[in-house]
Structure 1
């Protein structure tokens, strides 16, 4: 019902190509998140799927039907924007039912669909209020409810939580996850917030300057990044990337010491996540460093250390780190490491 297929999709603005031949299949009922840095093309790609941007080359198929040239109204999709775009003079009830009213739906059908959407989104007690009497999270739920009543094939979300404060973002992530489970509809979600991506997605698509750097489950991207771009983008704090080479048949951190990992073809970068490092006695581990900053976060503490030629490294320690600013420590790898070649491709 909600399968979407992108075949060699391109977008050109004059001589500038911003989407560079995207091939992607989205299964019916799947929750797919587009992530990437600003300017990577994620919102443009979403708007092309929704019909708000013309597809320059390639074709878009929804439920087996080529909709490349169809207007937005013919694609059966519903879009939720960063801006709530609610009518301030209308009640929540009228805002949610407005699209059905303009389409000429009978009042009984409008009332039924608005009531069902309000029940799903816990808005029954607010139907007669106007937007100014609602919180930011409630307004966003109204905007989502306006999409639900249209009974779309799929939902498109363009950074819907970026205007909310931190607590409301957490609450709305929970609400959107519940909504996906309740409706079972295909959802495509654009965000620059990797926490949203990791917690919501069945599959994440990481975009890099108009191309797909990697697509996979959150666990696949975190544990097996395909390249340096994904390795550094996914994860907070970011993966530590250290220069390395091969000497005497062993991988050696440049300016540091050998690392006990199988040698692969000419690695030039070694990546290790902060939680897979631990402080050790000087002279032990992959390098020595001086503790520069301790960031206490309650359950965890981040140690930011200066390892000289190796570079600055972040270590994630559970609870008390047992070291102080200015201490000289060794850095020991306690978990998997990742090796990358000169082109940034993962070697293991």
Structure 2
């Protein structure tokens, strides 16, 4: 079992409140990702679950029991940090099995568990090496192996890939996803990288200034953001936000044209993803603009288009788009993909 529940959890440092009443239920075997900008409280919340930070108010339950005041050693959780924290004088084998050795586990059982973890993480050829003889990705696998042998209730990952280069990040992201599939353990993962969040998570928890802005699957957050913050944080490039006004069953863009509106309350912002905008002749579609910058990425090109009072919009095209700075274009929105937000920033 590996269910974790947070009930009105708060964290205070003196008079400063950094976690502001978080309620969250994590199901057994679920891969949850905490994501948000720097300073939003995601690492603090993870450390509170792990017992490395005290919970000022509220209740933490692990498999139904109240674990709020339990020390880290009693919670049955294993944590993987951004720094590998390996013992430099020990071999990989000794690093992976060290926690079992200090717990008095028999040598035969240690050897069996270490070998099993090495097989899962493909560390077999490196078991007699020391950390200085390993690459960054291999060191991180050793750190994960050290957790696997403990058979924890849940794994806690605190930005484990931040120290790796781009290629290794992609490789390790794949390995962590495969690890979750094979172990079927509960995993809580902290990152500021939304690509990691979107590709790894069963559900994503978006944090904003110590509060949960939205919880949902990657698809739910991408297609139906609950507010402007989530709309502009999830997605790369971010969602385009345009000023608009609504009247009855229609909307009008400031300085542009409009279309149909099905919201139940007035909206002042319209959101549209770059891939849901089509290029048409100027004078057609919802608005016109002038191409400002073309970002060529191979299979895709992102066009930054200056639309005057509407601001600059990003549009996603195929890589062979034949447009350049200064070209005048029309922009047609896929009306089934629009998001509308009220004055309070919430989705309507």
Scaled to the shorter chain, the TM-score interval is: over 0.9
* Contact 1:241-1:272 within 8 A present in 2 as well: yes
Partners in 2 of 1:193 and 1:77 — Cα distance?
24
- Secondary structure, in 3 states, of the residue corresponding to 1:265? coil
1:330 alignment counterpart? 330
Q: In structure 2, how many angstroms separate the alpha carbons of the residues matched to 1:4 and 1:248?
A: 45
Q: Deviations over 1:215-239 (max 9, x none)?
A: 0111111111111111111001000
| Alpha-carbon offset, residue 105 of structure 1 | 1.1
TM-score, normalised to structure 2, is 0.98
Which residue of structure 2 lines up, in the alignment, with residue 186 of structure 1? 186
Mapped to 1, the partners of 2:164 and 2:97 lie a distance apart of: 24
Normalising by structure 1, report the TM-score: 0.98
Residue number in structure 1 paired with 2:54: 54
Q: Deviations over 1:16-44 (max 9, x none)?
A: 00001111000000000000010000000
User: Would you say the 8 A contact 1:34–1:189 is kept in 2?
Assistant: yes
Q: Determine the C-alpha separation between the residues in 1 that align with 2:179 and 2:304.
A: 39
The Cα shift of 1:249 comes to 5.2
Q: Which residue of 2 aligns with 1:159?
A: 159
1:166-196 deviations in Å (ceiling 9; x for gaps): 1100000110001001111000000000010
Which residue is 1:116 aligned to?
116
Is the partner of 1:113 in helix, strand or coil?
Answer: helix
CA contact (8 A) 2:202 2:217 kept: yes
What is the deviation of 1:264? 4.1
Within a 5 Å distance, the mapping from 1:137-152 to structure 2 comes to 137-152=137-152
Note if contact 2:96-2:142 (Cα within 8 Å) is conserved in structure 1. Answer: yes
| Partner in structure 1 of residue 130 of structure 2 | 130
**Structure 1: stretches of 5+ with no match in the other structure:** none
What is the Cα deviation at residue 262 of structure 1? Answer: 2.8
Written as runs of structure 1 = structure 2, the 5 A alignment for 1:254-273 is 254-262=254-262, 264-273=264-273
**Matched residues in 1 for 2:79 and 2:140: separation?**
12
Aligned to 1:27: 27
SS at match of 1:170: helix
Question: How far apart are the structure 1 equivalents of 2:263 and 2:67?
Answer: 49
Q: Deviations over 1:57-78 (max 9, x none)?
A: 0010001111100000000000
Match of 1:238 in 2: 238
Q: Report the RMSD for the aligned CA atoms in angstroms.
A: 1.0
Change (3 A) 1:14 1:318: same
Give the match for residue 101 of structure 1. Answer: 101
Preserved CA contact (<8 Å) 1:275 1:316? yes
User: Deviation at 1:248?
Assistant: 7.6
Q: State the Cα distance separating 1:259 from its structure 2 match.
A: 2.5
Aligned residues: 347
Please name the residue that 2:314 is paired with. Answer: 314
When residues 90 and 315 of structure 1 are mapped into structure 2, their CA distance, relative to the original with a 3 A threshold, is same
Q: Which runs of 5+ in 2 are unaligned?
A: none
